Each structure stands twice: as structure tokens, then as C-alpha cells.
Structure 1
């Protein structure tokens, strides 16, 4: 008899429930319980992992040392996007920070303890140290488990720059505690966080200097996209210093490698992230980490210890909330039901400057042999012309077989347009497939569509195809004339 995977999953869920069911007239002591799934950390990845596992019938213990909701809600995407929107609307600093607090308050119930416990999960404050196979210390209490999901996330890194630690540096976590707008702000780092916060604070009235050691901003993105963002920052009043490293920092300024100094009231560091794994004692349970401390996982998010999975930023993969959510769902179901679901490598990303930079899939530069790019400048997109937003572009990466393998969109709300490209990449859509989809007019998505239709038009206008089409047209014309002569007899 063939047993379906769903039947096996249901059976395992029932067995797990029986193993943890209190026996006898007295309630089983919590310290004696063996949890089906222990979730360590309750940001996006931990929340989704816990809810997923609990809804599948597993008995789940969640341990969080801080606030439920994690970086995204309190110090990441939610406050930063609110601040950017407030700055673009012309709000002053106090109004902008009020909007940030109001937005966090409005969204927080989605991630609170009540919503988590409604799924059946148990939430316990504390810190976790793994002590042995299937055991962990939770702030002095022993928790035994069958499977565990590490979702402790990552924190802003503070590099060993002379004087930095004593200069009271701001990070993407602490900037939200500011009580007043810095008159002069130096931002170290030209990645997405540095660019976004530099533009936001410039819009709020700070004199902002952005320092980046590389020769361009947004090193992971299309060079043309990085140039558009650099021009936008300069237009907004940001002093962009490229190819410069900070060698010393104090409370009043930054010294750069060329000997020049930048005076400031505060310095904000946006130079990468470091994992929160140092206090977990992972070596005691055979969990491998890389040289930076991130947990090494396979495509199913299992670590070198098959009883322990990891999800979200702590894995060292793309540091995005949407990735953490998918990781949480995958790890939660794999831990609860013994599945082997894997995570996709098609990960869209957006830098929320104005204009936005949105990208997915294969990079648009350093292409493999036979691959090419299709580009529509937004000066040729009517919606962009109408709104005076012509600095951007839409660019697709196409392989030898005509399949769309990646793309970059630069423009207002480019992240909204990227969903179409992400779908095309994940499903292996060809140029002709996307070109055959009717798009509403006028929209910024015309840029993506035009890139495909223009390419097909150029193909049709090529010498070989053109001769073939002309031959087919001549043949049809002769056939129609012959048919008409026959019908006239």
C-alpha cells in the first residue's frame, strides 16, 4: 500500500501530540516536558516558524530575550520606510518620529504574544544555551526538545575603527532613540541602509555626509542603478564621499584615509551585520558556524546537527524580512513534520531610496557567454515622463534560450514592479511569454514590457527573419489572388 506524504505527516503529528500529552490526574510539570519544537528568537523568522509548527499540531516553546517582533518591526523595515515617507512628505523630525511610533504601534498586534499563543505555542522570556543533545538551558530552567529552530537574527556590526566605540555611534537599531535631529550627520557605509537613512535625514534637515570605501554605492547592484542613486542623493544635499575609508572617529568628526576630516554631531554606522550566536554554545551540540559566526545550513535549513535548524538573518543569507518569513515557514514545517522543503534562491530585493532600486535573479553585469540584457530607459516610458521621473530604467537579463533570468528596475516604487520580474525568473518565462501579456497603460511596468517587445521587434527586423516574413507574405498574397480567380469563374 502506498502512503501519501500528507498521511505520513498527519500520523507523525498525532504521535508527537501523544508523546507530549500529560498522563495521570496531575498536570505534567513544564520542566519535564519534551517539546516538539524549540524556537530560539522571535523576530520574523521565529514568529513564522513557531506559528507554522504550532498550526501543524506540534507543541512549541518560543524563547525570546527581548521584544517579540524583532528587528523588522521595531528597528528595521517598518520604522525606516515610515521615516523615508515622512521625510519625502516634508514632515519635520518630531512629526516624523511620531509617525514611526504610531506605525509600529499599529502593526505590533500582528506580532504580539497573544497572536502567537492563539496558535497554541508557549512563549517564555529568557536566553537559551544549548547544553546537550535535545536539551537547552533557558535562563536557568531546562528545556528538552525533539527539534529546534535558531532564529536569533543579526545585529549591526561595529568595525574596529579607532575611536568609534567611544563616539556613541548610532546604528540602524539605536537611531530610533534620537530625541532631536542631528544638525550634522556622518553615515559610514553606502549600502541600502546607509543610502536610505542618509536620504531620510537629509530630507528632515540634517547636513549629511555619506562615506563609502568602494568606488560606488550599492556594490551588489547594477552599476547604472548605483549611479542613479548617487545622483539622487547629491541632488537631495548629501555629500557623497566615494573611495574613502574612515580611519578615526570621535564625537565631533571623522578622519578619512586621505587625511581630510568631516565634522559632525553624530555618526551613524551602516557597515554590515553580525550574527547573534555567540552565547548559544552551539559547539556543544555540534552546530557548525562560518568564520563570521553565522549558522551553516543546507537547502532545507538544517544545520550540521540534524535536530537543529536555523532560519532568517542568523543563516548569513540575504538579510531581508521576506526571506526570514519564508525561512520561518520552511523551518517550522520541516521541524514539525520531518519534511524536506527547500528554500528558493530567487530572492527579490529593494533599496527604498527615491528612486528605488529593485532587483532579482542574475546580476545585470558580468554576464555568462551568450547572455544579454534588454533595457528600457524611463525617458521612453510615458508614465515616467508624465511624472518627471525619467532618471531610472528597467533592465532584464536573458539567457541563450530567451528565458528571463534576472532584472533591475530603478524608479518610483520599483519594488512594486519587481514582482512581475520575480515571477518570470522563478517560472522560467521567456521574452515572448512576457511580451504577450497585455499591460495597463500608462504604468512604470511599461518599461519591463517594452524591453521584451522591442527585442522581439528587433528580431523580426533582422535580415534572415525579415526575408522569411517577406517570403511568407508574398506567398500568401499569391495564394489569395489565386483563390479569388477560382471563385470568380
Structure 2
């Protein structure tokens, strides 16, 4: 039973969740003239600002500066062992978060005209949500409650202290030996960052580390992470966890035992739907979140779901993209559907790993013999040579002259993937990228060069081209 209702509000749009997606919808809708209520029971900015993208990249940046001090010999700079102040690195993380917080704050959104209710919302009917002592009736609702760390029921875990991404950034004392269960993007990013900040690190992954990415490119990243001293164990499914003599032990299904001082659980995410009472709203849940159609409407056509909770790709930029999709539909009544083929993602290890569209394996399964895969190695890029960052690869999957996917492992892969996201989003052909002129020397030239690699056999191995050239030269 909820609190007694003392206030009643009628509004055009009620948004549940003040993370990236919810805030984007709120800001856009209110500035376009809609009456908007935003309900957030915890921290404005959601996981991305407080526990995810922002703090992890800030910690990665600290690790990068520490690592640079050990790797200068080839450049004529004597390596030194950095004196890492782990608590000060966490202060850097906190300052970055604090610098962004005003943009996501209650004060800013109330200044825009949004009614912000700082409480958790629960549906009590298909058209009503209760948040604390306030009852909100809305023409349309947006569920943008995001996701939280998934912690599997490993025997013994309930009796051992452990961290998730929601608590690791509060840790002030540097771990001597951090065990990470989970070898996905979160696990691998934090593994490398902690290793560079002076921790011993072991990653236990039940299947394949970075298993959702192209295995050839993931191998490039994992080779470098292992070379830096991170122990990455694949096929190591945790069977039990226990505390022994002040240490933490993780036993795998194969009977191997790994010991450390601290434990981080990074095995995935679960949608935040527990407080919503979806049944009362007439909203159907599915594995991974809430069932939505192509327009992001739930089984209650008055209710949309966006971001992590919408049972799809779990990235901050996807939530922002979803916000644009539903603003067009909810505010203007125009047809608007989501696409997934042009959504990129990146893992911010060193080297970085990025993907948009289909991987090679997915493209072969979908397009068969129509597929062409073109490749370009970072070792052939002059800027990469000057930086001694030549370990990397670009692969582009092409069907009938159009890219359907791109995979990049290498320095600044997250930046470089964007041109392929642009090409796929706008259905451009490879010629559009090949026609681009890149400044020399830049890493961005790898994209032009891989596009050029697509046309090379068509030009140089085509006997008709040579005949035309010979004919023209007669005059």
C-alpha cells in the first residue's frame, strides 16, 4: 500500500526515470510546449553519470596517465614507476561527476519548466502513477528507469563483501588484488584501469571475454590487456565464493580456485522494473525488460519504454536516440520508428574496440555470398606509426557497394567508428567514404584506406580498365 494521496497532478507527459533517456525526453518535450512531470526516486543523471560511463572513463583516464609513465623508452623518455594515489584518482572521478551534475540537476530541469518529483513512481492504473503522496494522471507515460547491476546467485556471495559498478567508485583504498567476475566491456575496462593504477587483477569469464564483439578484433584487445599483466581466464564459471583468512576465494566449475583481496561483480545488467507494477499499467514485461514495438510503445499504447528497460541495446546513446524517436511520436503524432542497424558501440579499453551494424559472422549468416569483407591494418597508417600504436584492424562488411557493418580494434576506435555509423544511417555507398579527403597524417585515414581497399580490385584487377587506359594513351 502506497502513501496517502495528498496531491493530484494532470499532465501531458509523465516520465519515470531521470537518467539519460528520461532527461532527454523531458528537456525536449517541455521546450516544445508540453506539460511535463519527471519522477526520479534516486539520483538525477542515472547510472551513466553516477556509476557508469562518466566515472569509468574518468578512472580509465587516470590509468592512462599512470601507464604513460612506464612506456616512454621507445620515444627516448626514461620510464619511471608512477606513484599512484588511488584515493586522489577517485577524487578526479568525483570532480568530473560534480562538473556534469548541474546539467542533469533538479534545479536545471525545474528552470526549464519540468515538474520534478523526487520519489519512486508506481502505476496504479493504465493512466495513473503514484509517486510518494502525489497522484499523476497523464495522457502519455515514458518508462525510462534504466538498469542495475545483475548479481547472479553464486553460493557464498551473500556472505562475502563485493563491489558492483554502483559501489566500486566509492572505494578509497587501492585493492591489492582485484578479482572481477565478468569479462564484458565493464569488466575489461575496469580491469585494465585498475591494473594501470597498481592493482593485481584477475578476470574470470564463464564464456568468452568480450564475447559480443568480433572475435578477431576482441583478440587484439585481450592480447594487449594480458600483456599489461591482467590475468584473463575464459571458460571460468564461478561455482562458489568464500572468505578465507582475510582473503576472498572464487572457485570455478572446473575446480580451480582464485584468491584476491577484493571482488567486483560485472556479469551484466537487469532492467529496473520492480517498483513499477507493470500489470496495473497493462504493460507486458519480457525477458530483459519491457515489450515494445518499433515505435517504442508498450502493450499500453499510452506508455512508451526507452533505454535499457526497453529490452534492447543497453547504451546511454541508445537511450538518447530513443528519446528523439518518441518525441516525434508523442508530441507531434507523427509516425516514428526505431532502427538498430546504425547504432554503434565502443569499449574503452586500450586499444579501443568498436562496432556498428553487423559483425562479419552476422553478415555472412545474413547475406551469404553477396558479402564482401574489406580490411585495413593500422600498421599501414603513418600516424599510428608515429605514436607506436600499430596494433589494430578495421573490417567493413559490404553488400552491393553499401556498408552493412564495421568493426574496429585500435587507438580511438570509438571515434573512428562514427564515420561508418554515419554511412549506414544514411545508406551511403563506399564511394562516399572513398571520396572523402582526410588530413595527413591522421588515424582517420584508416577509414578512407579501407574504403579504397574495396575499390582496388575493381580498378587494378579489371582488364577493361587497362584496355581503356591503353586506348586513351594512343592520343
CA shift at 1:471, angstroms? 2.4
CA RMSD of aligned residues (A): 1.6
Report 1:123-202 matches (<5 A).
123-202=116-195
**Aligned with 1:331 (options 319, 326, 345):** 326
8 Å contact from structure 1 (residues 162, 248) kept in 2 = yes
1:241 and 2:233 aligned: yes
SS of aligned partner of 2:285: coil
CA shift at 1:285, angstroms? 1.8
Report 1:464-479 matches (<5 A).
465-466=462-463, 468-478=464-474
Distance 1:139 1:377 in 2: 57
Partner of residue 40, structure 2: 64
Partner of residue 266, structure 1: 262
Report 1:367-406 matches (<5 A).
367=364, 368-369=367-368, 370-399=370-399, 401-406=400-405
Partner of residue 290, structure 1: 286
CA pair 92-460 structure 1, distance change in 2 beyond 3 A: same
1:428 and 2:427 aligned: yes
Partner of residue 105, structure 1: 98
Larger Rg: 1
CA shift at 1:357, angstroms? 0.4
Calculate the TM-score normalised by the size of structure 1.
0.88
Distance 2:36 2:379 in 1: 54
Partner of residue 456, structure 1: 455
CA shift at 1:133, angstroms? 2.8
CA shift at 1:146, angstroms? 1.1
Partner of residue 56, structure 2: 80
Higher deviation after alignment, 111-120 or 30-39: 30-39
Higher deviation after alignment, 198-207 or 136-145: 136-145
Q: Kindly report structure 1 stretches of 4+ aligned residues shifted beyond 4 Å.
A: none
8 Å contact from structure 1 (residues 211, 244) kept in 2 = yes
1:275 and 2:268 aligned: no
Partner of residue 24, structure 2: 48
**Unmatched runs of 5 consecutive residues or more in structure 1:** 1-28, 481-489
Per-residue displacement from partner, 1:237-283 (whole Å, max 9, x unpaired)? Answer: 10111111110012311001221111111111111111110121111
**Unmatched runs of 5 consecutive residues or more in structure 2:** 67-83
SS of aligned partner of 2:360: coil
Aligned residues: 445
Distance 1:103 1:134 in 2: 39
1:35 and 2:5 aligned: no
CA pair 145-168 structure 1, distance change in 2 beyond 3 A: same
SS of aligned partner of 1:229: helix
SS of aligned partner of 1:471: helix
CA pair 306-475 structure 1, distance change in 2 beyond 3 A: same
Distance 2:151 2:142 in 1: 27
Partner of residue 446, structure 2: 447
CA shift at 1:147, angstroms? 0.7
Per-residue displacement from partner, 1:197-251 (whole Å, max 9, x unpaired)? Answer: 000111111110001111x321111111111111111111101111111100123
Distance 2:6 2:110 in 1: 16
SS of aligned partner of 2:424: helix
SS of aligned partner of 2:290: coil
Distance 1:83 1:385 in 2: 27
Partner of residue 410, structure 1: 409
Calculate the TM-score normalised by the size of structure 2.
0.91
Distance 2:102 2:233 in 1: 41
SS of aligned partner of 1:277: coil
CA pair 337-474 structure 1, distance change in 2 beyond 3 A: closer
CA shift at 1:476, angstroms? 2.5
8 Å contact from structure 1 (residues 396, 448) kept in 2 = no
Higher deviation after alignment, 406-415 or 353-362: 406-415
SS of aligned partner of 2:201: strand
Distance 2:177 2:473 in 1: 74
8 Å contact from structure 2 (residues 287, 311) kept in 1 = no
Higher deviation after alignment, 53-62 or 73-82: 53-62
8 Å contact from structure 1 (residues 158, 271) kept in 2 = yes
